[in-house]
Amino acid sequence: MTGTDEYVLTGARVLLPDGRLEPGAVHVRAGLIAGVGPADGSGLAPGVRRVGLDGRIVAPGFVDTHVHGGLGFNVMSADVESVRAIGRRLRAAGVTSFVATTASVPFDRILRSVRGLAALTGPTGADGADGADLLGIHLEGPFLSPDFRGVHQQENLVEPAPARVAALLDAAGPALRICTIAPELPHAESAVRRLTAAGVRVSVGHTAATFEQAAAAIGWGARRATHLFNAMPPIHHRNPGPVPALLADPSVYLEIVADGLHVAPELIGALAALPGVRERLMLVSDGTDVSGLPDGDHHRWDGTAVRVTGGRAFTPSGGIAGSTSTLIDGVRVLLAAGVPLPVVLNAAARNPARSLGLTDRGVVAAGRRADLIVLDEEATITHTIVHGQWERP
């Protein structure tokens, strides 16, 4: 079925915008959700083709706001082949929209990648049908703390000086959606304010910030946390660090890498049980270009040596080298930890869409894009629908 087709998904359980999972049917027309009604489809477009789902779940398509690559491809190549290959892999895992995330390389190379990605923002398929949509760019680096840089190469880290921020905004235009900044760096305040004024969501991450510095960044306009807990100081009862400041402010959305390695599932489950926090949790893959590659030694696009062992990526010294998981893997990890399915699905779709100010996707409701997934009881995705179009065989 294509985005111009009209059909009704019947016999489903539908994740509604209020978080309830109820029997229902979804009417899709011209790439949009035309209506949601009773499970048998009564009252929804009589005579239109019915697609029975036998009790499977219809939920909004996932929105992954932190993706570096996959299958040997990296978004920083900024070429059509790479972006399409990454988009197809993501779609197979239920992702209908994603944000291409950069790494720390020499600044002129970052500008080249950003220009290329800006030109490719939009549908990733040749006709927009076979991959997740590229929403824009998440600049992760080079404005990071050298003490919490992870696998970002230290020689490529720089301060967010006004001239650099201006150059990035000029290169990316409206495609720059997210920028990670360590708020303790010189020029951070002016950078956060300038980026926020330009409509960019500033994210606190890869940072040595104190509680006070993180709180100040929120006051300047920061509204996200980049992979909370990772690449930042742990919580200490006398020196709390940035995490409590980010958790406490209701305006801050919180990235979580739920691959069972980056953050203990029990901790994520505890956060998901807290009203006011679970609505801000966002599953991200942090998927790198070695995602989906076989075990062994590999090199990422920026030259970083990585060893994949048991499907997980590590530096030669044993540190975590990004993630190799997808969002549906994170969904299963959290379900196994006892997090309710609606909470998990919202963390993968509704919350990240809201974090970007997107009102056209992220929930199953009339007038929204028909970006949908169909799952069975084992959280296996049986169909991914992007703008009304079913995935190809």
329 in active site: no
Token pair 């009704």 in the structure block, residue:
8
Helix then strand then coil, in percent of the chain rounded to 5, is 30, 25, 45
- Measured CA to CA, the distance from residue 38 to residue 352 in angstroms comes to 28
Residue 141 marked as a ligand binder: no
Around Cβ 92, how many Cβ atoms within 10 Å? 15
Token pair 């270009």 in the structure block, residue:
289
The continuous run of DSSP H or E covering 266 comes out as helix 265-272
Residue 206 marked as a ligand binder: yes
Residue 68 marked as a ligand binder: no
Residue 140 marked as a ligand binder: yes
Residue 238 marked as a ligand binder: yes
Residue 151 marked as a ligand binder: yes
Token pair 């190549």 in the structure block, residue:
77
Residue 227 marked as a ligand binder: yes
- Measured CA to CA, the distance from residue 357 to residue 359 in angstroms comes to 6
Residue 322 marked as a ligand binder: yes
- Measured CA to CA, the distance from residue 52 to residue 141 in angstroms comes to 46
Q: Which of 64, 133, 259, 286 is catalytic?
A: 286
- Measured CA to CA, the distance from residue 156 to residue 103 in angstroms comes to 9
167 CB-near residues (< 8 Å, 6+ apart):
107, 111
- Measured CA to CA, the distance from residue 348 to residue 284 in angstroms comes to 7
Residue 262 marked as a ligand binder: yes
Q: Which residues are annotated as a binding site for substrate?
A: 151, 230-231, 238, 262, 320-322
Catalytic residues: 286
Q: Which residues are annotated as a binding site?
A: 140, 151, 206, 227, 230-231, 238, 262, 320-322
